Amino acid sequence: MTTKTDLKQYGNVINGKKAPAETNKWMDSIDPATGKAWAKIPLSTKNDVDAACNAASKAFTEWSNLSARQRGDYLRKIGDVLSNYVEELLELETKNNGWVLDEYRYTGIVLKQIWHDAAGAAPIVGSQGKTTQMGMGNFGYTLRVPYGVVLGIIPWNAGLFTFTMKAAYALAAGNTVIIKPSEHAAVASLRYGEILAEYLPPGVVNVISGLGNEIGDELVSHKKVNKVSLTGSKGTAKAITNASSSDPKSLVFELGGKSPNIVFADANLENAANGVINGIFTRNAGQICAAGSRILIQRSIYDEMLSLIKTKMTNPGSIKYGDTLDSNNTMGPIANKAQYEKVCAYLETGVKEGAEIVFGGRFGGAELLPNQPEFEEGYWVEPTLFKAKSNDLRICQEEIFGPVAVAIPFDDEEEAVQIANDTKYGLAAGVWTNDLQCAHRMVEKVQAGNVWVNTYALVGPDLPFGGFKDSGYGTDSVLEYTREKASVIHYG
């Protein structure tokens, strides 16, 4: 039997070396499938923050002085060797946040593509400047230069992906990096940092674990941190903004969403139903920032579409819960206890508000996995669909971040746009229609940083990913990690 003292310890990665927190204090990492501790991670303090920032700052001079092609060679090598580690990393991430392993395998391909894309983009950064003849014997030009030390703060729901997006593009631009993973899901990121340290010069990538309210402000306000990129919540964004006010720096925020998935009567309903389901119910139990949690359906097909979605979701075997390392299972638990309690509270709120449950609504390991006692204390929530008459309910306006969606009817294109934009968020949207003109109008009118037509949540390094309104600003891209410098040369 494994006891807490037997749990494997995963250290910080600072200046190319694995290390415990200076105080040698640790936190438990909890497996959301069982609710039990399975590993230990460092409980870092200010001294560990100073060590990480100093290491990254020192490494910046050497790293930024490399040619773009030399940096690209490092990044390409990482992409090439990543296949040797991806199975290990994915299993750690699954234990971190409850993603079913089969659902997460795509990350092995995507991570490699991002590193290779960053490697190819590194030489392009230098060609992004412009020149101008200013007259009177003056010649002007601009160039792109790195910021210095970039702090990447990543969430618990997609740690490996967001780690890679921030680190690969920041490194390509000539910066060095510090990654602060969520205390709820740090193990995979700490191990990822160890692997990267084998292929990069010391201090180029550092990973530090700890409580956000203890080391977050210290990292953000540190004099040697020049840029902060957050994927997380609006509350964390506010805290970062406040912490950086004494030492202003460039900020990138990719925050939450309440994204509409809009189905028109002329759409292929079979494809639309699959897209709606995949957009909220089968990807990490709805715990993705771009989840299509508001399903807008044209009134003439409203009942038909709801019936089709319900049939697909309630057929025997359509959703399989259980061991997240078993690829035969299709949905995992909520990633941590606090989030589980929040999702359960919203299920109760929806009923109190008068919304009708189309399917789902149950929660708890003992409830959903009655014959598997090892999961009784896990954070399990059944996929749940409400239907509501208007967009005014809390479950329609507030981000739940779980496998919970609400279906809302609309009459025409104008009303669909009005409902879609009636939210403080603006991260993503889906549009299902066979009318090309309607599709183009919706892309233009819906206030979201990403609009997908007849597909959903298709992301990759080819396009930026960012939001409008309370969903943030900026993107994880190579140019975002550079700043423009201007020069004037007088030759007359």
Q: Of these residues, 103, 218, 289, 382, which one is catalytic?
A: 289
Asked if residues 257 and 237 have their Cβ atoms less than 8 Å apart, the reply is: no
- Dmax over Cα atoms in the chain, in whole Å? 85
- As a residue count, the chain comes to 492
Per-residue DSSP letter, 71: H
Token pair 């739940």: residue: 400
What are phi and psi for residue 175, nearest 5 degrees?
Answer: -85, 165
Neighbours of 39 (CB within 10 A): 21
The three-state secondary structure class of 35 is: coil
Q: Is 289 a catalytic residue?
A: yes
Please tell me the chain's helix, strand, coil percentages from 3-state DSSP, rounded to the nearest 5. 40, 20, 35
Spell out the residues 6+ positions from residue 156 whose beta carbon is closer than 8 angstroms to its own: 96, 97, 181, 182, 184, 185, 335, 336
Instruction: Kindly state the tokens that stand for 424.
Output: 């403080």
| Residue spans of alpha helices (H) in 209-284 | 217-221, 234-243, 269-280
Order of all β-strands in the sheet with 227-231: 17-19, 12-14, 205-207, 176-180, 149-153, 227-231, 250-254, 472-473
Q: Please provide the DSSP assignment of 305-332 as one string.
A: HHHHHHHHHHSTTSS--S-TT-TT----
Looking at 93, 254, 399, 480, which residue is catalytic?
Answer: 254
Contact 122, 349 (CB under 8 A): no
Which segments within 43-86 are labelled E, that is strand? none
The answer to whether 273 and 312 have CB atoms below 8 angstroms apart is yes
For residue 232, the 8-state DSSP code is: S
Q: Is 254 a catalytic residue?
A: yes
What angle is formed at CA 204 by the lines to CA 459 and CA 11, rounded to 5 degrees? 90
Q: Is 192 helix (H, G, I), strand (E, B) or coil?
A: helix
Q: Which residues are catalytic?
A: 254, 289
